[in-house]
Structures are given as structure tokens and as C-alpha cells.
A and B are shown apart, each in its own frame.
Chain A
């Protein structure tokens, strides 16, 4: 363990004390006095007295003291802990000044927290500052805090101990502070990342404005009025922002880009997904060229960005556009100090909506290094260009940009957050983490760091007490993508806890199926389930008409907001090998494609009906979907299913289920054996079945359950009739008759639906049209007499029983379809 010494009368401490004892305005007063004495000496000189010499002497004296205070006393920076173990030399000035061997750690930490970088750590981590005037105390000895602070600085390759590292050390070492730290769900790497963040900001603040070529930089190059009108000067932006522009730049790949631009063709293609940092790299290029650092013949060049969409909107026709582009390129080439960056470059080659093929205009410039060109493409666009315009792509040297890793992305986010923050708003570290995590989940078609920045920007309006926190980010994501990314609210928790009973208001029995689906949702919302897979994936097996699809619908309605939150695919429509492409269509090919729908509403129930009918290649895709929660479209962009419940239904083995149930067996008794049989039957590959969270068997409905189904169906009819203030009710005999006539063991409850339509809905419709009912009436329907309708039908009016023409007399119960009011 490091042993520290402390020299209380160290020269540095004496200077710090002296500086501290001088009043704040003392240095300024000295300067003013120096100037005043100088002027006085002039007056005395004119008067002709030797006292002018004394005035000059006083002026020199004041000036000398001022220089000393400014240059020496005011900059007592610590030296590296590698060079000394004397606390008088290695501590930051704010701490060294007040340090004494008997100082309490509470005072020490409080002083470190009061500095800008110490406070920066607290603010960015959302931690409460230590208040020594209250009962807050730090019990760990100061020595341990210093040892830890040195360790932190060593780990982070920082040359000296900073106030931020002392604050961080206190949070790591002191039990009480550590508890606060853990309660905020923070880890040591989080703390270290914020210490580095503070250090970097301090370095940028102390840096000098870069030298950008000086007064005569552009005197030998031409004027570019057209470029100024139609383009954007990236170099001007860089020059204006000065040293703070380094917060926006990307430098990885810059050397290669400059090498490509100074190469034989002078043209380069930047290839990378949206958000990967193509624009930031262009900014980095502009900065490097303006500073003239390692940029060869391009030193002093200015970068102009041309946006294809803007040019397309400016030109009235293709010829006009061609002339405009030729003029712009001609002007840039003649100016002699221009690099042109073409954003959305594919539009110049006829790719994309509203694009115009101007490759014949571009080709002469691409092959000639007189005008350096940087063209930005996504990987898909670049591949397309290689196949459609091979001559153009051959002249471009591609620079493939890759996504930065997590720590690099977090560093970029930290830098950019400082530029995004409006006055009075602070982005916390937890906010940055949430932006990274949630953008990875919900903006899969874009790349880091752009997508995380996009989320961060979107979260600014959701600021809470001046802080952009993880909750702000979650709110922005939930609002933008209609998902539930944050912790469940009390109201939502209630729905989740009562999910089974709410679903059973819409469907009868199938308790096990309802239970497993409800449990999956509860696990997901409690944050217990694997976030890298769908919320839940289930294979529902059973005869037709027993509620498999109805459960998916009910779930969508009860928890996902409405039945519209269900994305349903009838897999009987995906039986051919060509249907694989149809399943994976992107938005550009088909705006209503399956993957476009899941991107638009990621928080959905996805229902694959009759999955056994799908082509085996499609079933292979399901392996990835169920395993990783992703499917990539034909362009290679992933779509996430991690917020969806996947339900696949199949009638496979329905006969066996029916037979076993008829024989008196319970589902639970033969479930395992049934699944084994299913694998052996070859209907499904074992690896597919293995990937479902649960395989749930649905049993045929019993007759008494069918009566409940009738009740639910009648309730639905009543919901439809609600605007007309008319209700319909069935007598027990009528219900039983519907069950008797509507139930088919092979078709389940489905025929019952048709029977309710024919016998109930048609009867009520007939009554309404004939004016036989008024708002507020309840139409009660009874069983029909089989003698009158031996086939179970009612002739012209296929109701349960004929409704009389005359208005009812207001009785409660009707005999044969009378109307109650």
C-alpha cells in the first residue's frame, strides 16, 4: 500500500496559501495601479520632475507582482503521483490548501465535491452531495481515500489525482457513501467513466483554439458563390466552434480517408449504416485539413457538403439539375481548395425515390484527382452501386466504417451530450446508459453512436428537475415506439396481476394456456426474463375452435391495448419457397410487409396461424426469431421481436387430443407423451419445438363450457348494440339449444359463432328494421319449438325464436321472444 508523506511548509502550499490570502481582486488592482502609475509617470515627465522615475518604478513593481500572482501563484498544478508521494505536491490545489494530518475525511470529501470536477461526478451520476453541517459523516480514513484515488487515476491513465477521482474514491471506499452509490444502481466502471468524462472536459476547456491557416489561407483559391448557396461549408462550422468541435468529430479512419483522397483518383466512398458517423468523419476531415495536419496536398482545403435532396428540389428538371451539378463541380474544381462531400450519394446514381442518374456528370471528376470527392453510402446502397454502376464504383476507394464498441460509444455520447444540453439541463450518466441500451433494442436498423444520440436528443423534452435521466430516455422511447420500456406503473401492475381473470372475461377455460402467457408477460415486465429474446414464445396445439387464436386476440386486447396490436400471419399462405422473400420484404419493397409492421409496432402479439403449413425454409427462419428475437429483411436490416409475444398455432395431433380427452384422460397426464409423439411424427423439427418457451395443449370444450362461450358471444353482440341502447338476452333454454345445434366436436366452438349470427344477430336486426324495438329495450330470446322448425332453422327469420311484431308490454321475462323495455 502506498505510504504518503505531507510537508506542511512545502513551497507549493505556501504559494497556495499566499494566493488564497490575497483578495480576489488584488491581482486586478495591481494591474490597474501599474497602468495608473505609467500614466502618472507621463504626466510627471511633462511636468519635468524626477518623480516620474519613481512612478515608473512603482508601475514596474505592480506589474511584476501581477505577473507573479498570475503565472506562479495561480497555477500551482499538482505533479504526478508517479514522481512523488508527498500529498503537498500531488493533491489538487483545492484539497492541498486545506489538507492537514488531522483533517476529517468528511471535510476532505466535502471540499473535493465543492470543486467543479468533483461536483461534475455527483451531478452526472445523480448522487447527493455530502453536507458536513448535517449528520453525514465519512468514516473511512483519508489515507484510504488517497490510495484509492491514486489507484483510480492509474487505472484511467490520468497523470495526476483529480478532485473527481477523490470523490469517486470516497464513494468506493466509504460504506455509507457506497450504499448511496449502490442504491443508485451504479457500478465502479460507471464511476470511472464519469471521472474520465470530467477529465476530458477539463482538457478541452484548457485547450487553445486550433490554428486554422490564418489570414491568407484562401487568398490563392477561387470564390465559390454557388457552393455557398447550395452547399454547406463544413469547414466554416468547424472554424466557428473551435476547440469544442472536437466533441463532435470522429477521427477513426481519418488517416485512411485522407490517403484515399490524396491517391490517384482523389475520390473516396464512405460506407456505413445510418448513424455510424459518416458525417462526423467529414467533420474530422474538415478540422484536419484546416489545421493542415498530416494532410499532404489537401492542407488548407475546405470541405463543402452537398445534399442530393436539396439539389433535386432546387432543379426544375433533369437538365436543370445536370447543369447545376456541373456548375457546382466546375466552380469547386476551379477554386482549387475544395473537397466535396456528397451526402446520400446514391441519389446521384439514380437509386432511390426521386433520384436522377448523373453518373455521366460525376464520372469525369471521380477519375480525376483535381477535385477530391467523398461520397457517403449505406452498405446496401454501395452494393447496389457496384452492380448498377461498376465503372463509378471502381473509381471510388471504399472506406468501410464499423460501429464503435460500447465504451467508445459511451465516450462519444458523453462528449455530444455536452453539446446537446440546453441551458439548465444536465444529461446524467444513467441517461447515457439508457440511451445506449434502449436505442440498441428499438433502433436496430440504425448504427451506434447515431441511434443513441437520436434517442438522447428525443429525451430532452422529458427532462425531470433539469436532469435527463434514464427515466427521461424511457419516456421518450415509450412515446416514440409505443412500447413499455420502463418499470410497470401501479395500474399496469394491477392489469398484469389480474391478467388471467381479464382474459377469461373473453374466453372460456384453457386455464393452463392463459396462465403460461400471463406468466411470460409478468416475467418480462418485472425484468426477470431474458431481454434478448421475445417476451414469450408459445406453440398452441389443439383441435380447431377451442380458443387458440382467441387467446392471442384476448391478450392483444387486454394488455397490448387493442386487438389491432396483433400481427397475424396465416402460414397456409407461405407454403412455397418463394414466400420466404415475401416474409422478409423491407419497407421499400412493401410498406405493409410483415417486418415493417413489427418495426412500427414492436410491442405486439405476433400470431403464426397453422404453422405446420409453412415452408420448411420459413420454419428455419423461426429458429433465429425465437432464439435471438431478430429477423433481418432482404436488405439485411434487422427487425426486433424482443418486445413481442410469439404465438404459433397448429392443429397437428388434434385427433389424438380429442380421442384421449374423450377417453377420460386429463391433458396434464399425456402432455409429455404427446410432445414426444409430435416430434416422432415429423410434423415439426425437434430444434424448432425446443425453441418455444412452452408447448401448450388446448383441450376440446365441454358442453357446459360451451354455454359460457354463448354468454361471451352474446355479450359481444350487446357491446355492438350499445350505441343503439338495445340489449339482447337469452333464456337458458335458448342457450342450450344454440349449444346443441351449434356444437360440432370436429370444429369446436366455431359453428357456435355462426349459429349466434344466424339465430341471434339476424333476429335482432330483423326486429330493429321492423321498428319492433326502442332504445332502452332488452330483447329476450327463447328456444324455438322443434316442431315448428324441425331442421333447427326458423325459415325467413333464422332466430332462436320469432320476435313478435308488436312492441312488448314491459314485462321482465318473455315467453317466446317478446321484447322487454
Chain B
């Protein structure tokens, strides 16, 4: 049983863990539409304001409204991008940590148990 566990952990288990973190990162990336947000960062928010006709005053007003709409859009998108960035970074850090610890992980459990007992009884 132990040999089977060890062979999986350092074999296909390692590959599976990499795939898992890759897939989770992909879901965050697509779920929060990172590419779309980046591409449309300064687009008007939900096209609420549309271009006006030849009337210069109306056109000026539309331009101003559009500017506001773009500002609102950029703010929301930027906030979302920041959240996405935090999540992706967090995911990456956790991933790197876990993958980094992967090799010592099977030993970490028993080692911590023994160390805890030793330190608790003050040996």
C-alpha cells in the first residue's frame, strides 16, 4: 500500500497536481473574463449612451456622457481585473507552495506529529 502511494505521489500524482492548478487558474481567467476586460477596458459601460446625430450640442452631450460611461466601465472592469489578479496570484502562490512542498509533503505529516509530541513532552 505504501509503495503504491509513494509511486503515485511522485509519479502521476505530481502531474495531476500540476494539471489541477493549471485548470483552476484557467477557470479563474475565463470565469472573470480577463481577456475581455483587458480588451474592452475603456469601452462605454453597457453602451448606455449612443452617438448622436449632426446636432453639435447633442453630439457634445453624447460625447460627455460617453466619457462618463467609459469612466464607469473602466472603473468596474479595473476592479474586476484587480480581483482576478489577486485570485490568480493567490492561486499561483498556493500552487507553487503546494507543488514546492509536494516532494516533502508525505513526510510532513508524520514529521509534524512526532515533532509535536517531542516538543510537548519537552524532550
Contacts and interface: CB of A to CB of B under 8 A. Distances in A.
Are both chains from one complex?
Answer: yes
B86 interface: no
A347 B13 CA distance: 61
Interface stretch (A159-167, A212-220, A241-249, A746-754): A212-220
A569 interface: no
B111 interface: yes
Interface in B105-123: 105-106, 108-120
Contact of B36 (A49, A51, A52, A217): A217
Given A53-B119, A57-B108, A60-B108, A216 B33 contact: yes
B31 A60 contact: no
Contact of B76 (A50, A219, A336): A219
A74 to B, nearest CB: 12
B62 interface: no
Contacts of B4: 11, 14-15, 18, 72
Given A11-B4, A52-B116, A60-B109, A216 B12 contact: no
A11 B12 CA distance: 14
Nearest to B47: A222
A394 B27 CA distance: 44
A300 B36 contact: yes
B19 to A, nearest CB: 10
A188 to B, nearest CB: 38
Interface in B78-123: 80, 105-106, 108-120
A617 interface: no
A558 interface: no
Query: Would you call the interface of chain B mostly helix, strand, loop, or mixed?
Result: helix
Contacts of A672: none
Given A14-B4, A220-B43, A300-B36, A58 B113 contact: yes
A220 B42 CA distance: 9
Contacts, number: 122
Contacts of A300: 36
A220 B73 contact: yes
Contacts of B47: 220-222, 334-336
A57 B36 contact: no
A226 to B, nearest CB: 15
A307 to B, nearest CB: 26
A57 B33 contact: no
Contacts of A216: 32-33, 36-37, 40, 77, 80
Contacts of A336: 47
Contact of B32 (A50, A72, A214): A214
Contacts of B46: 218-223
Contacts of B116: 50-57
Contacts of B105: 60, 64
Contacts of B37: 216, 219
A217 B80 CA distance: 12
A68 B105 CA distance: 12
A211 interface: yes
A211 B27 CA distance: 8
B119 A68 contact: no
Nearest to B106: A64
Interface residues of B, number: 43
A23 interface: no
A61 interface: yes
A51 B109 CA distance: 13
Contacts of A310: none
A610 B76 CA distance: 83
Contacts of B9: 64, 68
Q: Which of A60, A64, A216, A222 has the most CB of B within 10 A?
A: A216
Query: Would you call the interface of chain A mostly helix, strand, loop, or mixed?
Result: helix
A58 B110 CA distance: 7
Interface string A47-82: 001111111111011001001100110000000000
Nearest to B119: A50
Interface in B1-39: 1, 4-5, 7-9, 12-13, 16, 27, 30-33, 36-37
B50 interface: yes
A58 B114 CA distance: 10
B40 A53 contact: no
Interface in A189-233: 211, 213-223
Contacts of A55: 116
A217 B111 contact: no
B48 interface: yes
A222 B105 CA distance: 51
Nearest to A337: B47
A217 B106 CA distance: 42
B106 A54 contact: no
A216 B16 CA distance: 30
Q: Which of B50, B108, B112 has the most CB of A within 10 A?
A: B112
A16 to B, nearest CB: 11
B115 to A, nearest CB: 6
Contacts of A67: 13
Nearest to B11: A72
A56 B50 CA distance: 59
Contacts of B8: 68, 71-72
A306 to B, nearest CB: 20
Given A68-B13, A216-B77, A54 B113 contact: yes
Contacts of A64: 9, 105-106, 109
Nearest to A58: B113
Given A64-B105, A72-B12, A220 B40 contact: yes
B80 A215 contact: yes
Nearest to A214: B33
Contacts of A221: 46-47
Contacts of B36: 213-214, 216-217, 219-220, 300
Given A18-B4, A64-B105, A216-B37, A56 B48 contact: no
B73 A219 contact: yes
B39 to A, nearest CB: 9
B85 to A, nearest CB: 14
A215 B112 contact: no
A221 B46 CA distance: 5
A54 B47 CA distance: 58
Contact of A49 (B1, B80, B108, B120): B120
A419 to B, nearest CB: 27
B116 to A, nearest CB: 3
A317 B12 CA distance: 69
Given A49-B120, A68-B13, A216-B80, A57 B112 contact: yes
A744 B46 CA distance: 92
B112 A214 contact: no
B30 A211 contact: yes
B13 A72 contact: yes
Interface in A297-342: 300, 334-336
Contacts of A15: 4
Interface in A74-118: none
Given A53-B115, A72-B8, A213-B30, 14 more contacts: A14-B4, A18-B4, A53-B116, A54-B116, A57-B111, A57-B114, A64-B105, A71-B8, A214-B33, A216-B37, A216-B40, A219-B36, A219-B37, A219-B76
28 contacts: A14-B4, A18-B1, A50-B117, A53-B115, A53-B119, A54-B112, A54-B116, A56-B116, A57-B109, A57-B110, A58-B113, A60-B109, A64-B9, A64-B106, A64-B109, A71-B8, A72-B5, A214-B31, A214-B33, A216-B80, A217-B33, A217-B36, A219-B36, A220-B44, A220-B47, A220-B73, A221-B46, A223-B46
> Top 9 A-B pairs ranked by shortest CB distance?
A57-B112, A54-B116, A53-B116, A61-B109, A50-B119, A214-B33, A57-B113, A216-B33, A222-B47
